[in-house]
Structure 1
Amino acid sequence: MGVKGLQHFMDSCCPAACVTVSLRDMARHDVTQRLQGCTSTANATSPTLVVDGMACLRSWYSCKDWVCGGQWREYMDVLKGWVEAFTSAGIRLVFFFDGVVEEKKRQVWVKRRRRVNGEISKVFRHMKACGEQPGRELFCLPSGLATFTCFALRSLGQEVFCSVREADYEIASYARQHGCMGILGQDSDFIIYDSAPYLSVAKLRMDSLTTVMYDRHGLCRAIGLTVAQLPLLACLLGNDVVSEEKMQHIRNDATAAYRTNHHTTHSGAPPGQKVLAVSHLVSSLWGREEQENELIPQSLDVSAPHRELLESGVCSYLLPGHHTFPRGDISAQSFAFEKHVSPEIFKACREKHVATEGFMVYSVVCQGVIECSNTLEDEEDAELLPQAVVYKPCRQRIYGLLLLHGRDGSSVDLPAIREWFVYPGNPLKEPDMVHPVAISLPYEQPSLDLLWFGIGPEVSTLRVMSFLSIFDCQEFCDLYGDVEDALLAALCLVTYIVLQVHTLSQEDVDAYLSQAVCLRLKSPAELQQIKLPVLSSRAVQLGSLYVRGLGNLLGASCASGGPLPNGALMPWHSFDGRLFHSKYLLAHGGTEETVLLDGDSSCLSLFLRLREKLIETCRKRGRVLQSRPRAPEPGHRVTPGPRTRERHAGCDENWRGKGETTGGGWSERGEAREYDSGERRWQRRGHFNTRSHPHGHDEGPQTPSRGRSSSSRGRIRPTPRWSQPPAPGT
């Protein structure tokens, strides 16, 4: 990321350009200048710091059990404290997150995804061998962290943007245009942009609000360049546009000339010689004043393709007003599927995307391409399907809802979405071409304009039915308005997973649903007290699978016109990784349902109701759940759940307690109990048929109240009163 070796060069060879600063002092100075009207910040309401959200994720997510799928309520508390530290210092924050992967950087993206896949393999090998989480050196962000962080920050009252082009460029442009006091990030590209000062998030100390500022003017003084010459230096050193390999021959020639002129040998080369050598070359290229406006001086001897590549790289650093060479107007771009949607839909897609509310729809409708980064999935586990495969039918229906309305069923000129999804077995050499599929409704599929802009109770019904159809859960319409939105969403998601993954058992379903029901009544402190005696690699995968599904719920809800508020689809309302893992171990250990539901009768009643609805829906589709309790992985020994006298026939008879949890988890300490090895009573849960199945608007992080939804909507009718969708405005 950024310019190869530049930040290390500044740290090691340009100490005068790496200045420790107090953000409080910078804010006070900014206010003074603004009041005096000396700078362009006069129009700002308060000192503003532009934050590269993607660069902050690793420091923000400091929760302990990162492999379990995310400790989302604890994470919300971290974000809240982080924001409050700046606002109490009088600093306004504006956050930017990556919204697209530009095609010229696709191969860089692919290279990074492959590297992370290797790290994930090490994570699973460690868990299966040791039954515990590996050290921070193999840390992987929970799935969907960037997506949900956008919503979390907005729920905290922050201004958040999702980029429609390279995020670094939009950050630098915003900071320059609005006269911001600085850019907080971790990317040496911010040294190259002629914008606000670049402040390191990696060296940020929250207790004192101090960090290191990388001074581009100080760098220029040290290497003998002007700020306008920095973009060419960056491209010759190598960045995300111009690969390091493409310019290797130029750096070799520059280094050889530098050694000759400065009487150095390779073995005795001073630190930072490469940067100094290329800087000397760049400085020598502009010999005449009339050449200063050239992007790439003619005196640089490169081939035509390399010159074109360098021009593209230099232009990527030119902010509005910097140069007469146009970068391109994003508003003038053609969109992927212009003939499939109205201009109003295109406009709404872009607005939703920029405001971080349009998950998936902008990428599909406007670009025709969508990507998904790495997920904690075990490439050696052939039993569980990759999340990209599990949710493909769901995505196809979302694409269908977005692009197939008004069609006569003809397959002529059927649009195809290019999917760049990371999953085991996908070499990422080219995108998967995925065609949309129409959703199944008892009437003609409604137009997108009606779903997004229509009003009235009939349109609301259409939105709900369209949303449920994406997950093949139309039967759940009678629960709409009768159970909490977050629980309805969780039920849809778990039902969909059961229908797609035929190796899922009743114990897996019990774990999913019990944690969703119990989470509503737990505080962040209670969740943090849960201690896991062992980690199951399978439970880790199921946790990540669920969280990825929440992203698909967001995409489906947005495509359907927003039948559920975004807040109900957030993980802190229906999922906690540590809680889920504890419920998984308990369910597979044969724990009684009352204990699984924390001894709460209302939770048990709600759990049974949701589970029965799931079983009934699955049975109608020929999917019958089986009880298949699983022992811990080989070599791992744990203590089964409280008041349990049965065990799985194939489990290790020497399970031992390795700790305890509170809040619905493990309760034994130290000593092992004796268990009856003769009788299995897994079939006591009479709600399951154990015969073999045939296939082998954002509400923030507050905790929902117990019981029925506070919504006044009431139940919806499964089928609208019309045979055809009404016209807009009805």
Structure 2
Amino acid sequence: MGIQDLQAFIDSSQIPGSSVPVDLLRIARGLAVKQSRQQQKTGKPLNHVNSKLSLVVDGECCLHRLYGGYFSDWVCGGQWNRMVQFLAILVQTIQTNNIELAVFFNGCLEQQRMNEWITSQLRIRQKINQVLKHINIKGTPPPKVWWAAPSCLRTCLRMALRHLSISVLCTMDDHHQEVIAYCRENCFYGLMADDGEYAVFDPPRYFSSEHIKLTYKGSLETKEYILSEVTKGLGLSSDRLCVVAALLGNYLLPEQDLLEFYHRLGLVQSLGKIPVDPLVKTVATYVKGLPSVENLDTIAAQIFGSTTDPRVSRFKQSVQYYLNGTKDGFLRYRTQAAHHRHGYSQFPAQKISPHQNKGKHVDQVDNSKFASETVESERDSLQAYNEATASSAGTPQIVIEPPGIVPDDKMKPNGSAVIDGSEEETGTKSGTNSVSTVNGGHSGTLIISVSSSSSSSSATSPSRTPENKRMTNQEDSPIKSVTLPTVPPEVMRTASERHQKGLMSPYIYQILTQGEIKLPVLMEDENHKDLPSIHLVFRPVRQMVYAILFNLHHYIYMASKQKEKGDEEKVEVPDICIKEWIWSKNNQYQTPDYVRAEQVGWGVPTIQRLWFGSAIDDKRRRLRAFLTCMRSDTPLMLNPTYVPQHLLVMASVLRFIMSHPEKILLHKIELDVFIAQAFSPALMNAHQLQELQLPMVTSRGVQLAALFMQGVETALLANDACGAPIPWLMCCPWLFFDGKLFHHKLARTSTAKSLLDLCEHRYEYVLKVERMRQAILEGLDIDYCIASVQTQLSGMRVRLPPNIASPPGVIPPPVRAMNAINVPERVYAPRGLFRRTVPSRGGQLEIAGVVVGSWGPNYGTRGVPQATGSFTPHRPSGGRVVPPQVTSVGGPKAYRQGNNMQGYHMNSLNGRPPTFQTRASSRHFGVPGRGKRNQKLVSAKKLQCSGCWQEAYVQASV
């Protein structure tokens, strides 16, 4: 794996003393004591930067650790409340122990690393195939070795860390160089990551993010890599280590170009099969034997045989890249300004600590706020957030003991105890392991400022060679080059600052500056396409976002005005195309898709007005622009009685999915499951969800969760592009979704008889689900009747239940008390039966083409429609109100949850009463052949002689 082999070599402890176990909390306490003594000795106040153990964390290296470990329910779509609770405990621990963190996420397009990114995505694609195959065969969560980041994980982490007052930053141009530059410029004590490139950069102190774990005994344990011991063991200086790193292979000089060199060193294995230890030691021995590394041309000629070889220049660039990240190289190149491809220069580095409050720097203008982010809106959103999470307040389930005190009942057999949720450490199954959860741990003091990261991450990266191009074949691309309209400076400035501070989707900055985005592979089955490509499902949203960001409507409006005036000066309407890298079976990231922007459909304001307009109309148009992108610009969507504010993002995503023009992506019962889990009291109880046991994990459930969470990611992109009309606190996914709870509800639909059962027999939640479903489906014409009755009855033996119809005067037993609150009964499919509701306008029973019975309208408590349009309760002679009649039609054929989750609701029969057709067989009725007249007579006579419809049986066979 190229340079990553160096990280694996250091981690393997082949060199004694190269890695040692450490406790970060003990290091922080020791630092505090040392600084206190120094203060007493000098009598001077300490600098805030030096008073705490400040660490830069590369979040890309520890996504699974920040998520909470390798617990297996990640495949269900993400347990976001549990993630927040784990982070709350971690943050509380480090803040009370004199530690400060600044967490970086990769917000760069990094075109020069495109091949490296594609290789990584194809590797993840293989894991996803194995995961889905495992689920289809066993129906259980996959093993931890196949862990892949759930959809929207990085966005959820950014929001959760911001919510917990941790500095969050995104890189802009070169991820590794900017992370190490920020660490050096702001005088951080060390870096926490697991990447071979950082080992070459030689940070002040280098800690492992892979091995970090928070224990019951109150320690934060990990490994520290002693890089001086590594260079000493290999007999190399820091500049020679840069040459070794270049010869191990990277995005500039791939391993394939070095295969001949490896063969000359005696490493004859094929690529990917060379052991790590012999590879690193052999290359290090070769570099150690070089007389000097000052003249790279001489070294390159010796390695490649000629100075004219094209690999020579790339080798020199690779060595220089690593030298620029070292301490000496950084000091040499730090003054050089980094310029972006579109002529926009990065902000100069701020030599301040990320822990200092922005308000202390009066000379620094804050350009990161939208006009929608006022003090009043932040206060209102905070109040709404507290109301939404009120049920999560409670006592911590796990208490971290002071150092040296470990409860006996919490000790592992080997004497240690961990609470990071990792199966590797706990040795237990994910559903029952001891995991740190605090109910309400995240409902403490919030940072309601627009930026919880208190300083910009604009540390200037060391200079990079501009010749680094992506090595992909685009000769067959339909468009050779894309010219984007000029972006207003104030828009670019705000986009840059918000991007650096992790306050907006990284895609926006990439679209504005480079017109290109990379969309990762998702948890979807490429072999059994039950659902279309998820990225293609949400492409219409992105197309409208492109139009908004580049003011497409404004250009079209100006062109039409010029045409009306007859001016000779013509305003050209730009052809806005954005390159989208999307994986498919036919195009596995070989070439990008060129996606054109689409108009929103009404006079949407310019991006300047959406982001900076402070008028009342601007606020209204911001929200309308977002809802239009999500196909959710309907009256009920803005009615908080139907859609609470913290569920608006969820409702808009579900409505967009339901409005898919080609096919029904989400069945009604699945829609109910999404809504029901959002209103469930268990959603905010991370401890209860951790103890919850899933009977089965289904492939369709996994893909539906991925579809929904990618929709949330896209909705947050649209919200940021429209000026954040929905406050960020109302966009937090843990307010409305938990993958494990979603799968639990989905599994319950196989036995739940009604929506009331799905809502745990709580009528108030049934009403909420009904209202929100009504808002989501408002104005949508969706036909859920996907199979005819005759198809269902073919080959099955059916018993019509007693309540299918009743003769006059006979009152069937009431179905449920649910009718007392006027909520229509939603019948779901129990295992083994396909259940359906009975149409209120009556129906007929037909056998062998002859109608042998019928029943009249059945309005239940809703009453009989009168000519005036009012409803009068239908009361038979007994005086009792007849509840809605519920029937089930089906047979003993096994119910398959993945194929028919919707339960076959019968809501539309083209205006005619339903007709149930069956076919009789001679072996059951003793009649010679089907369709004969005597068969009809015997069948009708048998039904008539039964005396009551409750005793009627119909035998059917093919």
SS in 1 for 2:214: coil
Question: Deviation per CA, 1:103-123, whole angstroms, max 9, x where unpaired?
Answer: 121111111111211121111
- Asked if the contact 1:468–1:477 (Cα under 8 Å) also holds between the matched residues in 2, the reply is no
SS in 1 for 2:631: coil
- Asked if the contact 1:4–1:238 (Cα under 8 Å) also holds between the matched residues in 2, the reply is no
- Asked if the contact 1:123–1:138 (Cα under 8 Å) also holds between the matched residues in 2, the reply is yes
Bigger radius of gyration: 2
Q: CA deviation at 1:276?
A: 2.7
* Comparing 245-254 and 456-465, the one that deviates more: 245-254
Structure 2 equivalent of residue 494 of structure 1? 654
Unaligned runs of 5+ residues in structure 2 are 269-273, 344-481, 560-571, 793-814, 817-824, 836-885, 892-899, 911-958
Q: Which amino acid aligns with 2:539?
A: K
Structure 1 equivalent of residue 66 of structure 2? 60
The residue correspondences of 1:133-148 to structure 2 (distance < 5 A) are 133-148=141-156
In structure 2, the CA distance between the partners of 1:270 and 1:451, relative to structure 1 (3 Å rule), is closer
Structure 2 equivalent of residue 457 of structure 1? 616
1:307 matches 2:455: no
SS in 2 for 1:309: helix
The residue correspondences of 1:499-538 to structure 2 (distance < 5 A) are 499-500=659-660, 501-518=663-680, 522-538=684-700
From 199, 214, 220, the counterpart of 1:209: 220
- Asked if the contact 1:120–1:376 (Cα under 8 Å) also holds between the matched residues in 2, the reply is yes
Supply the distance in 2 between the matched residues of 1:296 and 1:85 (Cα, whole angstroms): 53
Question: Deviation per CA, 1:562-587, whole angstroms, max 9, x where unpaired?
Answer: 11012222210111112212222334
1:91 matches 2:99: yes
Supply the distance in 2 between the matched residues of 1:394 and 1:373 (Cα, whole angstroms): 17
- Asked if the contact 2:211–2:222 (Cα under 8 Å) also holds between the matched residues in 1, the reply is yes
From 434, 448, 462, the counterpart of 2:595: 434
Q: CA deviation at 1:427?
A: 1.2
From 626, 638, 641, the counterpart of 1:479: 638
Q: CA deviation at 1:229?
A: 2.3
From 316, 319, 343, the counterpart of 2:321: 316
* Comparing 77-86 and 453-462, the one that deviates more: 77-86
- Asked if the contact 1:472–1:496 (Cα under 8 Å) also holds between the matched residues in 2, the reply is yes
Q: CA deviation at 1:546?
A: 0.5
- Asked if the contact 1:17–1:219 (Cα under 8 Å) also holds between the matched residues in 2, the reply is yes
1:470 matches 2:629: yes
Q: Which amino acid aligns with 2:315?
A: L
* Comparing 1-10 and 497-506, the one that deviates more: 1-10
From 267, 277, 282, the counterpart of 1:277: 282
Q: CA deviation at 1:155?
A: 0.3
Structure 2 equivalent of residue 594 of structure 1? 756
Q: Which amino acid aligns with 1:14?
A: I
Identity over aligned pairs, percent:
26
Unaligned runs of 5+ residues in structure 1 are 258-268, 632-641, 656-674, 693-730
The residue correspondences of 1:259-270 to structure 2 (distance < 5 A) are none
Q: CA deviation at 1:647?
A: 6.9
Q: CA deviation at 1:504?
A: 2.4
* Comparing 309-318 and 153-162, the one that deviates more: 309-318
In structure 2, the CA distance between the partners of 1:158 and 1:256, relative to structure 1 (3 Å rule), is closer
Q: Which amino acid aligns with 2:23?
A: S
Supply the distance in 2 between the matched residues of 1:432 and 1:46 (Cα, whole angstroms): 48
How many residues in Structure 1 have an aligned counterpart in Structure 2? 640
In structure 2, the CA distance between the partners of 1:204 and 1:615, relative to structure 1 (3 Å rule), is closer
Q: CA deviation at 1:353?
A: 1.1
Q: Which amino acid aligns with 1:77?
A: Q
From 59, 70, 81, the counterpart of 2:78: 70
SS in 2 for 1:20: strand
Q: Which amino acid aligns with 1:347?
A: R
Q: CA deviation at 1:520?
A: 8.0
SS in 2 for 1:561: coil
- Asked if the contact 2:646–2:731 (Cα under 8 Å) also holds between the matched residues in 1, the reply is yes
Supply the distance in 2 between the matched residues of 1:14 and 1:110 (Cα, whole angstroms): 33
- Asked if the contact 2:756–2:766 (Cα under 8 Å) also holds between the matched residues in 1, the reply is yes
- Asked if the contact 1:506–1:626 (Cα under 8 Å) also holds between the matched residues in 2, the reply is no
Supply the distance in 2 between the matched residues of 1:32 and 1:296 (Cα, whole angstroms): 51
1:350 matches 2:350: no
Question: Deviation per CA, 1:165-190, whole angstroms, max 9, x where unpaired?
Answer: 23222221122222222211111221
Q: CA deviation at 1:4?
A: 4.0
In structure 2, the CA distance between the partners of 1:493 and 1:653, relative to structure 1 (3 Å rule), is closer
Structure 1 equivalent of residue 860 of structure 2? none
- Asked if the contact 2:213–2:222 (Cα under 8 Å) also holds between the matched residues in 1, the reply is yes
- Asked if the contact 1:192–1:231 (Cα under 8 Å) also holds between the matched residues in 2, the reply is yes
Structure 1 equivalent of residue 90 of structure 2? 82
Q: Which amino acid aligns with 2:277?
A: G
Q: CA deviation at 1:164?
A: 0.8
Supply the distance in 1 between the matched residues of 2:48 and 2:901 (Cα, whole angstroms): 72
Structure 2 equivalent of residue 704 of structure 1? none
* Comparing 189-198 and 207-216, the one that deviates more: 207-216
SS in 2 for 1:19: strand
Q: CA deviation at 1:590?
A: 5.3
From 537, 554, 560, the counterpart of 1:406: 554
Q: CA deviation at 1:221?
A: 1.3
Supply the distance in 2 between the matched residues of 1:170 and 1:561 (Cα, whole angstroms): 27
Q: Larger RCO: Structure 1 or Structure 2 (Cα < 8 Å, ≥ 6 residues apart)? A: 1
The residue correspondences of 1:152-231 to structure 2 (distance < 5 A) are 152-207=160-215, 208-231=219-242
In structure 2, the CA distance between the partners of 1:215 and 1:158, relative to structure 1 (3 Å rule), is same
From 577, 594, 606, the counterpart of 2:768: 606
Name the TM-score, length of structure 2 as normaliser: 0.62
Structure 1 equivalent of residue 525 of structure 2? 378
Q: Which amino acid aligns with 2:724?
A: G
Structure 2 equivalent of residue 711 of structure 1? none
In structure 2, the CA distance between the partners of 1:561 and 1:321, relative to structure 1 (3 Å rule), is farther
SS in 2 for 1:407: helix
* Comparing 477-486 and 424-433, the one that deviates more: 477-486
- Asked if the contact 2:21–2:222 (Cα under 8 Å) also holds between the matched residues in 1, the reply is yes
In structure 2, the CA distance between the partners of 1:472 and 1:369, relative to structure 1 (3 Å rule), is same
* Comparing 579-588 and 431-440, the one that deviates more: 579-588
The residue correspondences of 1:320-331 to structure 2 (distance < 5 A) are 322=329, 324=332, 329-331=337-339
Structure 1 equivalent of residue 353 of structure 2? none
Q: CA deviation at 1:679?
A: 6.2
Supply the distance in 2 between the matched residues of 1:5 and 1:504 (Cα, whole angstroms): 45
Name the TM-score, length of structure 1 as normaliser: 0.80
Q: CA deviation at 1:47?
A: 1.5
In structure 2, the CA distance between the partners of 1:684 and 1:87, relative to structure 1 (3 Å rule), is closer
SS in 2 for 1:385: coil
In structure 2, the CA distance between the partners of 1:539 and 1:292, relative to structure 1 (3 Å rule), is same
Supply the distance in 2 between the matched residues of 1:605 and 1:313 (Cα, whole angstroms): 63
- Asked if the contact 1:286–1:292 (Cα under 8 Å) also holds between the matched residues in 2, the reply is no
* Comparing 414-423 and 316-325, the one that deviates more: 316-325
Supply the distance in 2 between the matched residues of 1:570 and 1:325 (Cα, whole angstroms): 40
* Comparing 206-215 and 553-562, the one that deviates more: 206-215
* Comparing 91-100 and 504-513, the one that deviates more: 504-513
Question: Deviation per CA, 1:257-291, whole angstroms, max 9, x where unpaired?
Answer: 9xxxxxxxxxxx9993432332233234453xxx6
- Asked if the contact 2:651–2:776 (Cα under 8 Å) also holds between the matched residues in 1, the reply is yes
From 103, 114, 123, the counterpart of 1:115: 123
Structure 2 equivalent of residue 5 of structure 1? 5
- Asked if the contact 1:463–1:560 (Cα under 8 Å) also holds between the matched residues in 2, the reply is yes
Question: Deviation per CA, 1:104-162, whole angstroms, max 9, x where unpaired?
Answer: 21111111111211121111111111222222222222111112101111100100101
Cα RMSD (Å): 3.6
Q: CA deviation at 1:364?
A: 1.1
- Asked if the contact 1:375–1:423 (Cα under 8 Å) also holds between the matched residues in 2, the reply is no
SS in 2 for 1:219: helix
- Asked if the contact 2:580–2:593 (Cα under 8 Å) also holds between the matched residues in 1, the reply is yes
